[in-house]
Structure 1
Amino acid sequence: MTDNGAVLPWLVIRQDEGGNRYRVGRYATRAEAERVAERLDTRGNQRLYVVEKVDRAAT
């Protein structure tokens, strides 16, 4: 949840070559998160950006 109360359950995460993961952003819909991940992912078949849904119980 953001400061304005909006629910943003979809994350775009970048994973580097060492397996470290970094949250890039949160989005309201999966489609929006996928578009961002595709735009950021420029390495072709080696996907660096993934989309995951946040578990509401964990937030």
Structure 2
Amino acid sequence: MIDELTGHWGMKWEDAVFIGYVDGQEVIRRNYSRNPVPTELRVAARFQRLLVSVRRN
């Protein structure tokens, strides 16, 4: 089951409901809103090292 949906800033979302069944019985349900409220910000570096150049006058 999907616990987290990832996306990018500015993406268009629609409301969605995912329902999981086992032997015909609903066992899990996840609701996703088209206008979610951010609760967490994750930042990841694109590179593990930064190259620095020093300019001297």
Range of TM-score over shorter length: under 0.3
Higher relative contact order, structure no. (Cα contacts within 8 Å, ≥ 6 residues apart): 1
Q: TM-score, normalised by structure 1?
A: 0.26
Specify which structure has the higher proportion of strand: 1
- Structure exhibiting the larger radius of gyration computed from Cα positions: 2
Specify which structure has the higher proportion of helix: 1
